[in-house]
Amino acid sequence: MAADFDINREMSKIEAPVISFEHVSKEYQKGIAAIEDINIRIYKGEFVFIVGSSGSGKSTLIRLMLKEILPSKGKVFVAGREIGRLRKYQVSKYRRSIGVVFQDFRLLKDRNVFDNVAFAQRVVEAPERLIKRQVPKMLSLVGLMDKRKSFPNELSGGQQQRVALARALVNNPVILLADEPTGNLDPKNSWEIMKLLEDINKRGTTVVVVTHNQEIVDSMQKRVITLRNGRVISDEEKGRYRYAKN
Amino acid sequence: MRKIRTLFYCIGQGIRSIWKNRVYSLASAGTITACLLLLGVFYFVIANFNYAVESAESLVGITVFFEEGTTEEQILETKEKIRMRAEVADVVYISAAEAWENYKAESLNEELSATFGSDNPLEDSASLEVSLSDVSMQKILVRHVESMEYVRKVNHSESIAESFDGIKTLLWIISISLIAILVAVAVFLIRTTISTGINVRREEISIMSIIGATDFFIRAPFVVEGAIIGILGSVLPIGILYLVYGEVIRTLKEQFDSVFTAMNFIDRTKIMQQFIPLALIFSLGIGIIASHITAKRQIRKIELQH
């Protein structure tokens, strides 16, 4: 039986890249490519923006990284291992090493802030004592310790996204994927979330942010990969949001 | 420790889900109850029927009569030959004197029997009473004994089992058909219940999958839910059948004294010992299998739709 996929162990064996797309194409319908011949390498500790207009293939990249879908052509490597070859029982272990936040937060409305964050640990069967230690730590990191008993509908959009971030981080992921994390937030809250993502990145987590937010991308001076019609049209260190229009 | 925690989590989620979808859960459990009630009634009828037939058959045997002038020695020699056969349980020799004594005791009063003096009208009626260990072999044995030396006549009745074979088959066909229909309804309702539960928790399942919960962890609460519905559905029929069985047997014996006095019924404790495991396997089986299949299919759909 093949060993479980442990991203930390795999990463310790290699220098880079942590994420690699090699000639990846994805067709949802025959003849209509969502992405085409994508070649991207993301290194450990990088902060990367993926930009592009709707339908440019940004979310497809996220779904491929999570192994929710498989490429029609090419290979996706994470920590040097082709994730398309992961067996079904290995996928859950693999996903524990990746934190994800979404535009719509995806919080459980019937649970309070503490339980929403603890949920991520409970579903991976973490011991309760670890949950009691780790959840407050994450809530302090995102500045919501005082809201731990509040329910999602009692929080602002920015606060909800911070809960989602705490949930994504509570299992100590090596990679954090953020799919339009500021899409539902006002500028002030958007900046707060981006600052948090930057802090998380400084602690060593590789952060990949899919976004439409030109102001943030232009201001943060990070690596920017631009997609158009499913193809990479630019990949710049300290890039700007400028080639997104289809 | 981790497994125990997971088990409790799954049971907790299962109970929560049943409560949230209590109308569907109740309908599913109710259908299983109906299934088991029917199954129970047919099971009890058939089990008692078989029991009565077996009891009757154990009393049935064949009687072998001998030609005039056959000596006791020759009869006992024949007895040994019959006794050696595999299908034979026992052979009893009834001498002519014993036969006459038995007849007098059963059918004649003292006055009448005194008129016979020392005469034995059943002089040539010494016989062998053969009981069988396997009644299905009766025909073969009769044919064999009839062909034996000194044998004049073999008395036998058709096997009771054979006579009732048709009725038993009919009972089975009716019960299996009815149960099959009810099982189909129960499976449909359980699938609807589980699907509803999954739909209510669609968002949660999608998050669980992305966060890295195993398939087992996501699916187990729904299978637990199915199992609990199965168990709930079996409690009522087991209770009802336990209470009703004793009453029915008593009433039958009281009301239809002439018919049922001679008939033996299976003891209530004994029949329940047979029926309860059967009922639990049946209800748990339906609950677990139906919920497992539904959960697997529905959760896969959610994962793909995310």
Going along chain B from its start, the domains and CATH numbers come out as 2-56+161-305 (no CATH), 61-156 (3.30.70.3040)
Chain A residue with Cα closest to B306: A68
Q: Which of B4, B16, B20, B210 is best to mutate for the A interface (most A CBs within 10 A)?
A: B210
Cα–Cα–Cα angle for B236, B242, B243, nearest 5°? 95
Give pLDDT, residue A209.
94
Q: Which helix H or strand E contains A139, and what residues bound it?
A: helix A128-141
Question: What gap in Å lies between CA B46 and CA B288, rounded to an integer?
Answer: 28
Cα of A238 to nearest chain B Cα, Å: 30
Q: How long, in residues, is chain B?
A: 306
Cβ of B211 within 8 Å of Cβ of A127? The answer is no
Size of interface A-B (CB pairs under 8 A): 53
Return the percentage of chain A with pLDDT > 70, whole number. Answer: 91
Cβ of B211 within 8 Å of Cβ of A96? The answer is yes
Chain A residue with Cα closest to B218: A123
Q: Which residues of A touch B212 (CB under 8 A)?
A: 92-97, 123-124, 171
Evaluate if residue A22 carries a pLDDT over 90: yes
- Residue B81 carries which side chain, given as an amino acid letter? K
Average pLDDT along chain A: 87
How sure is the predictor about A99, in pLDDT bands with cuts at 50, 70 and 90?
very high
Return the percentage of chain B with pLDDT > 70, whole number. Answer: 90
Give pLDDT, residue A11.
57
Evaluate if residue A168 carries a pLDDT over 90: yes
Burial class (CB within 10 angstroms; exposed 0-12, middle 13-18, buried 19+) of A93: middle
Alpha helices in chain B (DSSP H): 2-20, 22-59, 72-83, 96-107, 110-114, 138-146, 160-200, 202-211, 215-255, 257-260, 268-305
Distances (CA, A) of B192 to B24, B234, B294: 7, 19, 9
Asked if B5 contacts A130 with a C-beta cutoff of 8 angstroms, the reply is no
Give pLDDT, residue A1.
43
Asked if A7 contacts A44 with a C-beta cutoff of 8 angstroms, the reply is no
The pLDDT of B64-87, averaged and rounded, is 88
Chain A residue with Cα closest to B217: A123
Return the percentage of chain A with pLDDT > 90, whole number. Answer: 51
Evaluate if residue A83 carries a pLDDT over 80: yes
Q: Which residues of A touch B204 (CB under 8 A)?
A: 108
pLDDT digits (tens, 9 = 90+) for B17-53: 888 878 888 888 888 898 888 888 888 888 888 787 7
Asked if A243 contacts A226 with a C-beta cutoff of 8 angstroms, the reply is yes
Q: Which residues of B touch A66 (CB under 8 A)?
A: 210
B16 lies within 8 A of chain A by CB: no
- Prediction ipTM score: 0.80
CB-side exposure of A96: number of CA atoms within 13 Å? 21
Cβ of A108 within 8 Å of Cβ of B204? The answer is yes
pLDDT digits (tens, 9 = 90+) for B286-305: 899 999 999 998 888 887 76
Structure tokens at A10: 């795999």
Q: Which residues of B touch A96 (CB under 8 A)?
A: 211-212
Question: What gap in Å lies between CA A182 and CA A190, rounded to an integer?
Answer: 5
Q: Which of A152, A119, A38 is nearest to B208 (CA)?
A: A119
Cα of B296 to nearest chain A Cα, Å: 14
Cα of A96 to nearest chain B Cα, Å: 5
Stretch among A226-235, B77-86, B126-135 having the lowest mean pLDDT? B126-135
Evaluate if residue A188 carries a pLDDT over 70: yes
How sure is the predictor about B161, in pLDDT bands with cuts at 50, 70 and 90?
low
Evaluate if residue B13 carries a pLDDT over 60: yes
Give pLDDT, residue A10.
60
Asked if A5 contacts A67 with a C-beta cutoff of 8 angstroms, the reply is no
Give pLDDT, residue A244.
47
Asked if A10 contacts A204 with a C-beta cutoff of 8 angstroms, the reply is no
Cβ of B210 within 8 Å of Cβ of A95? The answer is yes
The pLDDT of B222-251, averaged and rounded, is 90
Structure tokens at B216: 């087992």
Question: What gap in Å lies between CA A12 and CA B211, rounded to an integer?
Answer: 22
pLDDT digits (tens, 9 = 90+) for A106-148: 899 889 999 999 999 988 888 889 999 999 999 998 999 999 9
B300 lies within 8 A of chain A by CB: no
Option in B203, B208, B304 nearest A123 (CB): B208
Question: What gap in Å lies between CA A242 and CA A238, rounded to an integer?
Answer: 12
pLDDT digits (tens, 9 = 90+) for B141-160: 888 998 998 898 888 766 55
